[in-house]
């Protein structure tokens, strides 16, 4: 930020207002940070769209980042399929958590992770197949097919389709 402020000082003829300073500084942010600033700035009145507001937001973002990553990792590591949740919904939830997770996974790691986190009866049944899909998406579809072969799960999914807000 001090480099930005020095840049603004040396080119003070161009950076005559906060809007130009913010536009320049925002262009150096990551896509995610820029999106967060966009959401935040939409809530600001014209009197609060200032360089100081941007600077404070940016510092807060940097200070929160390590904590956010720790929370994302914790949520991801503790994720388990709930009884009222379909395999597909659980896989979607894991995908959202994975997007925030600091690490990256190989296909086989994602497959083993979801297998160990789905309901026990689904995971156990998935181990009985001699040939399994090799991609994560195909494996999720495989788990969905297993899920609908289990009578209790099939009944739950049907009930959820009939009354999506009550399950």
pLDDT in the model for residue 93:
94
Q: Which residues of the chain have pLDDT under 70?
A: 102, 164-167
pLDDT for the residue 164: 65
Q: Is the dihedral of CA 148, 151, 157, 158 positive or negative?
A: positive
- Residue 113, pLDDT score: 94
Taking only the tens place, the pLDDT of each residue in 99-108 is 877 677 889 9
Query: Which tokens belong to 77?
Result: 């590591």
Quick check: 147 and 157 in contact, CB under 8 A? yes
pLDDT at 44: 80
pTM of the model: 0.61
What pLDDT, on a 0 to 100 scale, did the predictor assign at position 165?
64
């Amino acid at each position: 930020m001090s480099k930005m402020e020095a840049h603004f000082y040396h080119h003070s003829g161009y950076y005559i207002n906060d809007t130009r300073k913010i536009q320049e500084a925002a262009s150096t942010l990551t896509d995610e940070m820029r999106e967060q600033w966009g959401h935040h700035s939409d809530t600001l009145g014209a009197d609060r769209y200032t360089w100081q507001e941007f600077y404070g937001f940016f510092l807060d973002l940097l200070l929160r980042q390590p904590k956010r990553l720790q929370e994302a990792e914790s949520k991801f590591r503790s994720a388990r399929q709930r009884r009222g949740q379909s395999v597909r919904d659980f896989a979607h939830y894991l995908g959202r958590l994975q997007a925030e997770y600091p690490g990256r996974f190989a296909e086989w790691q994602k497959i083993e992770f979801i297998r160990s986190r789905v309901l026990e009866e689904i995971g156990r049944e998935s181990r009985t197949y001699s040939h399994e899909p090799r991609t994560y998406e195909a494996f999720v579809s495989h788990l969905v097919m297993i899920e609908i072969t289990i009578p209790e799960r099939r009944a739950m999914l049907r009930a959820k389709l009939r009354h999506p807000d009550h399950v």
